[in-house]
Amino acid sequence: MPDLSKYDLLLSELSAIETQLTILIDKYNDNADRNKELEDEVNLLKKENFSLGQKLNRFETQSISTPDSEDMFDSATKAEKEDLKKKIQNVITKIDRHLSS
C-alpha cells in the first residue's frame, strides 16, 4: 500500500510540473512574439530615422546654398508645419515607448 501512495504522489507532482511547464512555455512564446514585433518596429523606426536624417541633410544643404538664407520653415505653409509637428510628435512618442519598454 505505501508504494501506491508514493506512486500517486509522484504522478500528482509530475502533473503539477507539467502544468507549470506549459504555462512557462506559453509565456515564453508570448514574449518571443512580442520581441519579434518590437524588433520589427525598431527596424521600421531606424529606416524612418535614416530617411528623415537624409531629408534633414538635404534641407540643411539647401538652406546653406540659398543665397538669401531664407529659413526653411518660413516657406512652409501652415498645413505643412502642422503635419511636420505631428510627425515629430509621433516619432518622439515611439521613442519614449521603446525607452520605457
Q: Per-residue pLDDT tens for 32-89?
A: 999 999 999 999 999 999 999 999 998 888 877 765 545 556 677 888 888 988 999 9
Q: What pLDDT sits at residue 66?
A: 67
Please check whether residue 62 is in contact with residue 54, taking contact to mean a CB–CB distance below 8 angstroms: no
Tally the domains of the chain: 1
Residues spanned by the domain of 43: 2-100
- pTM confidence score: 0.50
Distance CA 57, CA 64 (A): 10
Please check whether residue 59 is in contact with residue 72, taking contact to mean a CB–CB distance below 8 angstroms: yes
What does DSSP assign to residue 67? T
Q: Per-residue pLDDT tens for 10-31?
A: 999 999 999 999 999 999 999 9
Distance CA 14, CA 66 (A): 76
